[in-house]
């Protein structure tokens, strides 16, 4: 009973550096673009991690229900990853655009892109949670073996807890907010990231479509 959660925790912690680099590629410019202080950055990280946990738990349900169906088929894996990356690019672009073009008048209804941008932390967390790297696939396999849904959920929760501490250093990004130039650079990088994820996501979707 204890072995599976401990295994998940160990798996998450051992692959944390991959998560740190993988999420960091997105988190560093995106948190920098927000220009928040330490508290603000911590709040954003909390929202991001909540979205990530929600993504992990959703996958736990999928793993239990579909028996690791996704990971058995490379084209379905590409389809899932491609959709996630395209979704990520849309969220990043909306958020980046909303930061660069803040409404000049604070009174009245905010434009759509600004309202959508406020959901960005959760959305980004959810979509970055879907990263079908080997540790994640292993977690998926382990979770799918269990007969109970609770087993799968517990496994992924422990996997999440194992990876989460590796993201703690990004709380320090808020210290750079005093430099307006750095904040603008981070915003531009966020938009470049959006273009990158759109490009790679489109390639994955095309590959999934062409190779069945």
> Where does this chain bind other proteins (CB under 8 A)?
17, 21-22, 24-25, 28-29, 100, 181, 184-186, 188-189, 191-193, 196, 203
- Between residues 21 and 65, which has the closer beta carbon with respect to other proteins? 21
- Between residues 116 and 182, which has the closer beta carbon with respect to other proteins? 182
Closest approach of Cβ 99 to other proteins, in Å?
Answer: 12
Q: Are 78 and 208 in contact (CB under 8 A)?
A: yes
Q: Of 26, 23, 27, which is closest to residue 56 (Cα–Cα)?
A: 23
- Between residues 172 and 192, which has the closer beta carbon with respect to other proteins? 192
- Between residues 1 and 210, which has the closer beta carbon with respect to other proteins? 210
- In Å, what is the CA distance from 132 to each residue of 82, 97, 136, 208? 11, 28, 6, 15
Residues with Cβ < 8 Å from 174, sequence gap 6 or more? 31, 36, 37, 38, 39, 40, 41, 42
Closest approach of Cβ 152 to other proteins, in Å?
Answer: 28
For residue 143, the tally of other CB atoms under 10 A from its CB is: 26
Closest approach of Cβ 22 to other proteins, in Å?
Answer: 6
For residue 209, the tally of other CB atoms under 10 A from its CB is: 12
Whole-number Å distance between alpha carbons of 16 and 12: 6
Closest approach of Cβ 80 to other proteins, in Å?
Answer: 19
Q: Judging by beta carbons within 10 Å of its beta carbon (0-12, 13-18, 19+), is residue 91 exposed, middle or buried?
A: buried
- Between residues 22 and 50, which has the closer beta carbon with respect to other proteins? 22
- Between residues 100 and 168, which has the closer beta carbon with respect to other proteins? 100
Q: Are 117 and 190 in contact (CB under 8 A)?
A: no
């Amino acid at each position: 009973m204890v072995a599976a959660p401990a295994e998940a925790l160990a798996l998450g912690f051992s692959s944390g550096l991959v998560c740190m680099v993988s999420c960091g590629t997105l988190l560093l410019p995106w948190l920098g673009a927000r220009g928040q202080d330490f508290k603000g950055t911590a709040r954003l990280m909390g929202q991001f991690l909540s979205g990530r946990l929600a993504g992990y738990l959703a996958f736990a349900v999928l793993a239990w229900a579909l028996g690791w169906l996704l990971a058995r088929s490379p084209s379905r894996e590409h389809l899932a990853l491609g959709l996630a990356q395209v979704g990520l690019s849309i969220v990043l672009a909306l958020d980046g655009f909303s930061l660069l073009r803040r409404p000049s008048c604070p009174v009245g209804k905010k434009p759509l892109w600004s309202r959508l941008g406020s959901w960005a932390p959760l959305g980004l967390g959810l979509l970055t949670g879907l990263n079908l790297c080997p540790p994640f696939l292993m977690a998926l396999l382990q979770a799918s073996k269990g007969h109970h849904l609770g087993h799968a959920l517990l496994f992924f929760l422990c996997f999440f807890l194992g990876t989460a501490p590796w993201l703690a250093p990004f709380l320090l990004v808020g210290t750079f907010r005093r430099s307006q130039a750095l904040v603008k650079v981070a915003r531009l990088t966020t938009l470049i990231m959006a273009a990158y994820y759109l490009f790679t996501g489109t390639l994955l979707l095309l590959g999934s479509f062409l190779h069945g």
